[in-house]
């Protein structure tokens, strides 16, 4: 198996976990706040097929940045209006940070102990899978903060600053394909800095708590 194909295959579990965590968290938060739309649409599920957007899935495999199937909500069902909408949006992206942070602890423990009891090849595969789970969840968090239609950043922009949204939102819709292409071409160079910063911070925190370092 070629190194390129191996790297693409080994990130698939990480992508599935990241996408399911995000979709389920948004659906669960909306349901908790009174909107049963995600429940009726089958989004209160841990089945990856209920959350994956095929194009977003392929994009994250090929470029490192992608998106999930949007969780539809009914704003009129929320008791606190846009404040509850913000909670739903934040739940979807913050859960990726939580998964990344928890996985970092498992990663450090695995790297420290697995090599002692398992063959190197198996220990290394497990290490790379855990590494990717943490890294891709951070990637998805950062990417989803961008103010592009279909991403959490776009929803946050609309809900936090409606005046500016209605001023610039139409332009974002109009040029969303151009913006997306620019991110695909340049995003790995621009967005990698916050991703690496967060990853390194999580590694340091987990390392300090466990007394283990990458």
pLDDT, tens only, 53-109: 888 888 878 876 677 788 888 888 888 887 888 899 899 899 999 999 999 999 999
Residue 120: predicted pLDDT = 87
Domain that holds residue 190: 3-210
Q: How many CB atoms lie within 10 A of CB 44?
A: 16
Maximum pairwise Cα distance, the chain: 60
- Decide if pLDDT at 15 tops 70: yes
The number of folded domains in the chain is 1
Q: What percent of the chain has pLDDT over 90?
A: 41
pTM for this structure? Answer: 0.86
- Decide if pLDDT at 22 tops 80: yes
Average pLDDT, the chain: 86
- Decide if pLDDT at 177 tops 80: no
Residue 37: predicted pLDDT = 92
- φ/ψ of residue 68, rounded to 5: -100, 175
- Decide if pLDDT at 9 tops 80: yes
- Decide if pLDDT at 214 tops 70: no
The average pLDDT across 139-150 equals 83
Residue 188: which pLDDT band, with cuts at 50, 70 and 90? low
């Amino acid at each position: 198996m070629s190194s390129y194909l191996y790297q693409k295959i080994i990130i698939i579990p990480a992508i599935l976990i990241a996408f399911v965590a995000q979709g389920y968290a948004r659906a669960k938060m909306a349901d908790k706040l009174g909107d049963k739309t995600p429940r009726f649409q089958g989004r209160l599920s841990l089945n990856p097929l209920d959350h994956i957007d095929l194009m977003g899935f392929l994009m994250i495999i090929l470029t490192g940045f992608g998106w999930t199937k949007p969780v539809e909500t009914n704003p009129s069902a929320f008791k606190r209006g846009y404040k509850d909408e913000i909670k739903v949006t934040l739940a979807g992206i913050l859960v990726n940070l939580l998964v990344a942070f928890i996985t970092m602890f498992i990663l450090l423990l695995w790297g420290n102990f697995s090599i002692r009891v398992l063959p190197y090849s198996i220990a290394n595969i497990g290490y790379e899978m855990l590494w990717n789970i943490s890294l891709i969840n951070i990637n998805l968090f950062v990417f989803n903060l961008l103010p592009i239609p279909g991403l959490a950043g776009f929803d946050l922009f609309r809900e936090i600053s409606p005046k500016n949204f209605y001023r610039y939102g139409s332009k974002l819709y109009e040029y969303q394909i151009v913006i997306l292409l620019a991110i695909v071409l340049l995003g790995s160079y621009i967005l990698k800095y916050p991703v690496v910063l967060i990853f390194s911070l999580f590694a340091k925190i987990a390392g300090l708590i466990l007394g283990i370092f990458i």
